């Protein structure tokens, strides 16, 4: 036991030193959690083998600001993090940033992101694990038996997306999920008692969790037993480790330990107490001892490999399926679904057809909706994923719009494959933090939103979106698609399938302009080429209809393209020549060559117009400051789609009169 104590002390000193060197980080959490995290890494966390080892455990450092202790552990347990990486903590061009990041640091399983995102993502990881285990484990062959560990502090558990996700995990009874809660009783702003005095144990039990409390979180043996019990639990398990913030330092027990840095002499004091020498020092004895774990896990890995060989012999069919599980065949959606496209009138219904088609092609696609299937209509045609059916791929997320995206992040992270979630466009505001993380981890999560404008029916302003398109398009490296009809929708999907970039698909609801005036833009064959809309929409923007020597150019997206076409027809009558550009995706268009972009933008046309039922100002980039932005700048109103259009004077006639006013 002496060597264990020494290892833990080493970890604690190392954590304090690198926070101090980096001048940033949560000393309070790092020092208090040293024992429990050491125990996890030494005895429980099965990290050997990397990405190809599908049965490895996952670890999410949701309390990212205490990453110093995480990196120190990785260094001690033979991950690819050196002593100089540690010294470089939170510095420029570091491998060890303030908050851990997926692709930057080998061995890091997840970009934690802010507050509850890590917790919700770990629920997604656990869902995927449970699904995979159910699908591929066979008698005597538990080839998937891994766990997801998530480390949290007080702040992570207070945030809404955590609570949504934890409630979902309880409902689904994900017993492979273990939450390690470092309970110091302090937060950045003071004692926890005045900030959150709920009874955590009871709360989690009420949510269907098993709860284990370790009253001496600093005790290796108790920590060991607790995690061991958690791994055997038939429910998701919370372990509450009672610890002292900033343990063994002058800041011990204070809330300031979470945002103060220990001074050099204060660290020296700890070292003196521990009888330690040197700086950033791990004794050979400790090093050797930690590497035993590495060797143990290697043996475990080799055993698993042998088991998989036997599995292939015993269950050849399953093994074949497993082998093909992650395959991504090349497909042409246009060929597969062309006839359905023409038969399905409602875009949301056609969206569901495509989704189900894709899920047939790729068995690893999972997803679900936020308690509004009757609106979004996005549902895989199979029995839902539930605590009694881990084979299902449709998840009833419930009204959990804050967690839904982060859970999907976890699913895409685990499978390295697409996942999807659906809700109304208004609710997209709740998913912006997880979309950001989809991008940062480059996860192919597809966010499907319906009811995309103030013209979505009698919902009234609380439910009608206006600013959401602008907010989605603001996320760096995130693709937003707003197709005008089934053909463009299919084109969007073909891009989404091919690129596997995080994306939002924004569809109209019922009673939209799109659906009442759909006929108008049908059968329009564009001038220069005989390319179909499908062929062209994959460029993000394209000339839909163009007169010779056009003097007016109109950009539009989604339902408003028909309005632009209608305006063109009116303008044509008074001999104005017009070019209409359909823009299903601005981000996609921006990726095209300058030559193509210029051919569509036609900057020499003076009269420039953009039409969209949103308040996104991005259009000024294409129309210039003298351009006419025909849009919606305020919240919706009560009334049906037509009434709303009259109220806002959002119609071709008004558009034409405004265009003519520019010319005058």
What residues numbered 142-171 form the site for a second copy, per CB under 8 A? 154-156, 158-164, 167-168, 170-171
Nearer to a second copy, 142 or 615 (CB): 615
Residue-by-residue DSSP string for 196-254: ----HHHHHHHTT-EEEEES-TT-HHHHHHHHHHHHH-SS-EEEEEE--TTTTSTTTT-
Which residue, chain included where needed, has tokens 């009694």? 388
- Select the span of 45-53, 129-137, 205-213, 514-522 touching a second copy (CB under 8 A): 205-213
When asked if residue 26 is in the footprint of a second copy (CB under 8 A), the reply is: no
CB of 65 to a second copy, least distance (A): 9
> DSSP character for 378?
-
When asked if residue 438 is in the footprint of a second copy (CB under 8 A), the reply is: no
When asked if residue 634 is in the footprint of a second copy (CB under 8 A), the reply is: yes
Measured over the CA atoms of residue 366, residue 369, residue 374 and residue 378, the dihedral's sign is negative
Nearer to a second copy, 318 or 373 (CB): 373
Report the site for a second copy in 34-63 (rule: CB under 8 A).
Answer: none
Continuous segment of H or E residues that includes residue 611: strand 607-611
**Quick one: CA torsion of 141, 143, 145, 148, rounded to 10 degrees?**
-170
Nearer to a second copy, 7 or 352 (CB): 352
When asked if residue 374 is in the footprint of a second copy (CB under 8 A), the reply is: yes
Going from the C-alpha of 361 to that of each of 180, 356, 358, the distances in angstroms are 37, 9, 5
Continuous segment of H or E residues that includes residue 481: strand 479-481
Which pair of structure tokens corresponds to residue 93? 């061009």
Measured over the CA atoms of residue 307, residue 312, residue 313 and residue 317, the dihedral's sign is positive
Q: Which of 206, 221, 272, 302 binds a second copy (CB under 8 A)?
A: 206
- Select the span of 32-40, 203-211, 545-553, 571-579 touching a second copy (CB under 8 A): 203-211
Contact 448, 376 (CB under 8 A): yes
CB of 495 to a second copy, least distance (A): 21
Report the site for a second copy in 94-133 (rule: CB under 8 A).
Answer: 94, 97-99, 101, 111-116
CB of 310 to a second copy, least distance (A): 36
CB of 259 to a second copy, least distance (A): 4
- Select the span of 229-237, 282-290, 467-475, 527-535 touching a second copy (CB under 8 A): 467-475
Q: Which of 2, 51, 139, 199 binds a second copy (CB under 8 A)?
A: 199
| Integer Cα distance of 130 and 171 in angstroms | 14
- Give the other-Cβ count within 10 Å of 249's Cβ: 25
When asked if residue 310 is in the footprint of a second copy (CB under 8 A), the reply is: no
When asked if residue 334 is in the footprint of a second copy (CB under 8 A), the reply is: no
What is the spatial order of strands in the sheet that 578-582 belongs to? 542-546, 578-582, 552-556, 607-611, 628-630
Nearer to a second copy, 10 or 453 (CB): 453
Q: Which of 5, 82, 84, 196 binds a second copy (CB under 8 A)?
A: 196
CB of 303 to a second copy, least distance (A): 37
CB of 417 to a second copy, least distance (A): 23
When asked if residue 617 is in the footprint of a second copy (CB under 8 A), the reply is: yes
When asked if residue 572 is in the footprint of a second copy (CB under 8 A), the reply is: no
When asked if residue 595 is in the footprint of a second copy (CB under 8 A), the reply is: no
Q: Which residues of 418-427 are buried (b: 16+ CB within 10 A; e: fewer)?
A: bbbbbbbbbb
When asked if residue 427 is in the footprint of a second copy (CB under 8 A), the reply is: yes
- Nearest of 165, 126, 606 to residue 411 by alpha carbon: 126
| Integer Cα distance of 472 and 557 in angstroms | 15
Report the site for a second copy in 249-308 (rule: CB under 8 A).
Answer: 259
Which pair of structure tokens corresponds to residue 203? 């709360």
Helix (H, G, I), strand (E, B) or coil at 632: coil
Nearer to a second copy, 159 or 485 (CB): 159
> DSSP character for 138?
B
| Integer Cα distance of 452 and 463 in angstroms | 10
When asked if residue 522 is in the footprint of a second copy (CB under 8 A), the reply is: no
Q: Which of 225, 318, 618, 662 binds a second copy (CB under 8 A)?
A: 618
Nearer to a second copy, 194 or 574 (CB): 194
Burial grade of 334 (CB within 10 A; 0-12, 13-18, 19 or more)? middle
Spatial CB neighbours of 534, under 8 Å, sequence gap ≥ 6: 334, 487, 488, 490, 491, 494
When asked if residue 609 is in the footprint of a second copy (CB under 8 A), the reply is: no
CB of 604 to a second copy, least distance (A): 12
CB of 82 to a second copy, least distance (A): 17
When asked if residue 474 is in the footprint of a second copy (CB under 8 A), the reply is: yes
When asked if residue 639 is in the footprint of a second copy (CB under 8 A), the reply is: yes
Going from the C-alpha of 501 to that of each of 113, 328, 478, 545, the distances in angstroms are 19, 15, 7, 30
Nearer to a second copy, 292 or 647 (CB): 647
Give phi and psi for 242, each to the nearest 5. Answer: -80, 115
CB of 6 to a second copy, least distance (A): 31
Q: Which of 285, 626, 649, 663 binds a second copy (CB under 8 A)?
A: 626
- Select the span of 323-331, 429-437, 496-504, 571-579 touching a second copy (CB under 8 A): 429-437
Which pair of structure tokens corresponds to residue 223? 């920590």
Q: Which of 11, 150, 180, 200 binds a second copy (CB under 8 A)?
A: 200
When asked if residue 587 is in the footprint of a second copy (CB under 8 A), the reply is: no
Nearer to a second copy, 217 or 457 (CB): 457
Which pair of structure tokens corresponds to residue 530? 């005989």
Report the site for a second copy in 388-407 (rule: CB under 8 A).
Answer: 396, 398-403
CB of 319 to a second copy, least distance (A): 32
């Amino acid at each position: 036991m002496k060597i264990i104590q020494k290892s833990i002390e080493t970890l604690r000193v190392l954590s304090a030193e690198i926070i101090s060197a980096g001048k940033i980080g949560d000393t309070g959490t790092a020092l208090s959690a040293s024992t429990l995290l050491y125990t996890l890494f030494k005895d429980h966390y099965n990290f050997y083998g990397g990405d190809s080892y599908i049965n490895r455990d996952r670890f999410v450092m949701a309390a990212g600001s205490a990453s110093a202790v995480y990196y120190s552990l990785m260094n001690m347990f033979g991950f690819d993090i050196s002593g100089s990486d540690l010294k470089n903590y939170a510095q420029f061009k570091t491998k060890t940033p303030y908050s851990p990041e997926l692709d930057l640091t080998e061995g890091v399983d997840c970009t934690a992101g802010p507050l509850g995102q890590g917790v919700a993502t770990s629920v997604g990881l656990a869902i995927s694990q449970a699904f995979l285990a159910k699908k591929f484990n066979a008698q005597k062959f538990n080839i998937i038996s891994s766990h997801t560990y998530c480390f949290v502090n007080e702040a992570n558990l207070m945030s809404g997306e955590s609570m949504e996700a934890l409630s979902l995990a309880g409902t689904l009874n994900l017993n492979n999920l273990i939450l390690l809660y470092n309970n110091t009783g302090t937060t950045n702003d003071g004692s926890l008692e005045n900030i959150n005095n709920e009874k955590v144990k009871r709360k989690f039990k009420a949510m269907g969790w098993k709860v284990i409390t370790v009253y001496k979180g600093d005790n290796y043996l108790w920590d060991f037993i607790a995690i061991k019990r958690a791994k055997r639990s038939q429910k998701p398990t919370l372990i509450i480790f009672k610890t002292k913030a900033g343990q063994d330092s002058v800041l011990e027990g204070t809330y300031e330990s979470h945002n103060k840095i220990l001074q050099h002499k204060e660290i020296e004091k700890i070292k003196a107490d521990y009888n330690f020498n040197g700086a950033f020092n791990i004794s050979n004895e400790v090093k050797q001892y930690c590497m035993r774990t590495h060797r143990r896990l290697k043996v475990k890995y080799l055993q698993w490999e042998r088991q998989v060989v036997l599995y292939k012999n015993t269950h050849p069919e399953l093994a074949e399926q497993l082998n093909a599980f992650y395959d991504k065949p090349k497909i042409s959606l246009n060929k597969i679904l062309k006839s359905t496209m023409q038969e399905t009138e409602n875009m949301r219904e056609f969206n569901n057809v495509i989704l189900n088609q894709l899920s047939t092609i790729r068995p690893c696609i999972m997803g679900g909706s936020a308690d509004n299937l009757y609106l979004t209509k996005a549902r895989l045609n199979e029995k839902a994923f539930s605590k009694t059916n881990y084979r299902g791929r449709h998840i009833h997320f419930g009204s959990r719009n804050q967690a839904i995206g982060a859970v999907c992040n976890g699913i895409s992270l685990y499978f390295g494959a697409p996942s999807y979630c659906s809700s109304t466009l208004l609710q997209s505001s709740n998913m912006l933090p997880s979309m950001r993380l989809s991008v940062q981890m480059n996860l192919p999560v597809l966010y499907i939103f319906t009811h995309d404008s103030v013209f979505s029916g009698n919902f009234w302003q609380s439910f009608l979106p206006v600013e959401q398109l602008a907010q989605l398009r603001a996320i760096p490296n995130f693709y937003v698609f707003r197709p005008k009809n089934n053909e463009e929708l299919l084109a969007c999907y073909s891009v989404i399938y091919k690129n596997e970039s995080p994306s939002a698909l924004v569809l109209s609801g019922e009673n939209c302009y799109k659906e009442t005036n759909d006929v108008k833009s049908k059968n329009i064959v564009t001038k220069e080429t005989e390319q179909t809309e499908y062929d062209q929409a994959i460029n993000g923007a394209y000339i839909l209809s163009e007169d010779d020597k056009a003097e007016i150019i109109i950009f539009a997206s989604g339902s408003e393209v028909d309005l632009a076409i209608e305006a063109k027809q009116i303008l044509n009558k008074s001999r104005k020549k017009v070019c209409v550009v359909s823009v299903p995706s601005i981000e996609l268009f921006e990726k095209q060559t300058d030559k193509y972009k210029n051919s569509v933008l036609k900057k020499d046309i003076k009269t420039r117009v953009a039409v969209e039922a949103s308040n996104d100002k991005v259009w000024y980039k294409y129309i210039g400051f003298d351009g006419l932005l025909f849009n919606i700048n305020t919240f919706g109103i009560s009334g049906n789609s037509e009434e709303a259009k009259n109220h806002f004077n959002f119609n071709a006639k008004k558009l034409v009169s405004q265009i003519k006013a520019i010319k005058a």
